[in-house]
Amino acid sequence: MNAIDILTKARELIAEPKRWTKHRAASISPTGPTLKPNDPNAACWCAVGACAKAVGKDLTVPKDSAWGDPEVRMAIYGLMETVTAQHGAFYSSLPDFNDSPSTTHAEILDVFDRTITRFESTK
């Protein structure tokens, strides 16, 4: 799966506001307990958790984690580049942006859309 596919699938996962969360990779609800992205009970994800779920990997097991996949890293770094282009260096990481009290669901989807468009234009 390439970075565009990962971003597209991750965006689909969080397309509805009730399927996006802050302060946890995944959960049963936006304010529920923390779960791993691939937990069968997970029903909502943060931006990074959605990317991990898109490739069927978790974030916590280093050897087999989503971070070990170069396409996942490219997708996540691409999202962060979009955040930086829109907001400057105010946010230090994608989770920092995702979890900010001022970040809205619409802004998260916009970051995904802009990143996908940018990646598609360089194919």
* pLDDT per residue as tens digits for the range 68-104: 778 888 999 999 999 999 988 889 999 999 999 999 9
Q: What is the pTM of this model?
A: 0.91
- Residue 45's pLDDT band (boundaries 50, 70, 90)? very high
Domain spans, the chain: 3-121
Helix count (H) and strand count (E) of the chain?
Answer: 5, 3
- For a pLDDT cut of 90, what percent of the chain falls above it? 76
